[in-house]
Amino acid sequence: MEQRVIISRNLETELAIAISECEHDRLFVLTDEVTHEQCLPLVNNFFCLKGAKVITIGSTDVHKNLESLAHVWQGLDDGGADRHSCLINLGGGMVTDLGGFAASTFKRGIDFINIPTTLLSMVDASVGGKTGINFNGLKNEVGVFNDSKFVLLDTRFLRTLDDKNLRSGYAEMLKHGLISNEKTWADLLQFDLSNPDYDQLQALVAASVKVKEKVVSRDPNEKGLRKALNYGHTFGHAFESFSLKHHAEGEAPILHGYAVAYGLICELFLSVVKTGFPSEQMRQTVRFIRDNYGSFNISCDDYDELIALMRHDKKNMSGVINFTLLDAIGDVLINQTATDEEIREALDFFREG
């Protein structure tokens, strides 16, 4: 059965229907520490979840690892799960990625349902069948493609989000706008992130999810076209991995969406220089990102390490760093390359802002 994405109007009814269409002799709900406290209470009393066992892992990307994966497998085992059980992932992208991987591998695969609770997971992580964990300091190094049976999107959960996590998810929406059409891009630049209108946001989320679904349906296993979704991510993943390794004691690493926003600045620069993207649209987008995401403190001494991290990216072939670039909004060029010198110029442009 193809994954079904539902923009929710009545979560309890829709979840009951989703569960009824999955194998489910036993139900499990996966949360992290934050969603256990803030989001589980919104669904805990649903009749369809009566008797469901809750498994909780640590929150943030730091816990997207083998230990947490083993904890979920152990929780399923302890709860008597078999190959006819169903796992409901209630959380952000870390929970849907790791929970999807746990479900895909337990007993060679059980059904799972994603209920994303962050903007990032609604528009990115929970749609498209990517599951996995970080390994050896590298993002999403181990995983499989496997769709959840259902994705239920309810923007009520976004009211539990802090400002930074809302902005983090919005960066992926901005990317979707850049790879789709000028109207979507322009609408996204008009939105006031400091005072969000949740009704307007629901409409923007629905449009954003459609962009991703359209791309994924034409290239489910990332052989070609789906690389459009990597716009901003070659630099972005490098920033993210760099931050995971070097963030100061007591300071959180940068959020995924912030890393993608910074990556968009660099890849918009490369798009102008290498493929003729309009510089005025680049300037407007970069201004929006700088106003809403600030900057990330790197020096030219860090360039070699960032380039080395880019070489580890799964999109590369034969060690050549692979970029997705644009020659216009909605006009995507995959499998582009850049010299180390051009990458350094893009990092200079990012720092000079």
Q: What is the per-residue pLDDT for 16?
A: 97
Instruction: Using alpha carbons, list the distances in angstroms from residue 320 to 160, 223, 335, 336.
Output: 41, 17, 10, 10
In the predicted model, is pLDDT for residue 86 greater than 80?
yes
Residue that terminates a domain, selected from 121, 141, 160: 160
Instruction: List % helix, strand, coil for the chain (3-state, nearest 5).
Output: 55, 15, 30
The residue written with tokens 């360039």 in the block is: 303
How many other C-beta atoms can be found within 10 angstroms of the C-beta atom of residue 189?
A: 15
131, β-bridge pairs: 144
Q: pLDDT at residue 235 above 90?
A: yes
Residue 318 has a pLDDT of 67
Q: Among 244-248, 262-266, 290-294, 310-314, where is mean pLDDT lowest?
A: 310-314
Packing angle, helices 279-293 and 256-275, rounded to 10: 160
Pairing of strands 4-7, 138-145: unpaired
What is the distance between the alpha carbons of residues 35 and 49, in angstroms, rounded to a whole number?
16
Across the range 134-152, mean pLDDT stands at 92
Residue 30 gets which letter from DSSP? E
The chain-wide mean pLDDT, for the chain, equals: 93
pLDDT in tens, 19-39: 999 978 999 999 999 999 999
113 and 252 within one domain: no
Question: What is the model's pLDDT at position 125?
Answer: 66
pLDDT confidence of residue 26: 96
Q: Tell me the average pLDDT across 210-229.
A: 83
- Whether 103 and 167 map to the same domain: the answer is no
87 & 138 share domain? yes
Residue 139 and residue 170 in one domain: no
Mode of pairing for the β-strands spanning 111-116 and 86-91 = parallel
Q: Quick one: 84 and 109 in the same domain?
A: yes
Identify whether residues 213 and 125 lie together within a single domain: no
pLDDT score for 155: 85
Tokens at 120, concatenated: 């990032």
Whether residues 209 and 138 fall in one domain: no
Report the alpha-carbon angle 338-344-346, nearest 5: 75
CA distance 225 to 182: 19
Q: Token digits for 158?
A: 């976004």
Residues 309 and 173 placed together within one structural domain of the fold: yes
CATH number for the domain harbouring residue 43: 3.40.50.1970
pLDDT digits (tens, 9 = 90+) for 169-180: 999 999 999 999
Please indicate, yes or no, whether residues 118 and 228 belong to a single structural domain of this protein: no
Q: Is the pLDDT of residue 1 over 60?
A: no
**Boundaries of domain holding 123:** 4-160
Buried b (16+ CB within 10 A) or exposed e, 232-258: bbbbbbbbbbbbbeeeeeeeebbbbbb
pLDDT at 183: 95
Residue range 106-137, pLDDT digits in tens: 999 999 999 999 998 899 866 778 899 999 98
Number of domains in the chain: 2
Q: Where residue 333 sits, what CATH number does that domain have?
A: 1.20.1090.10
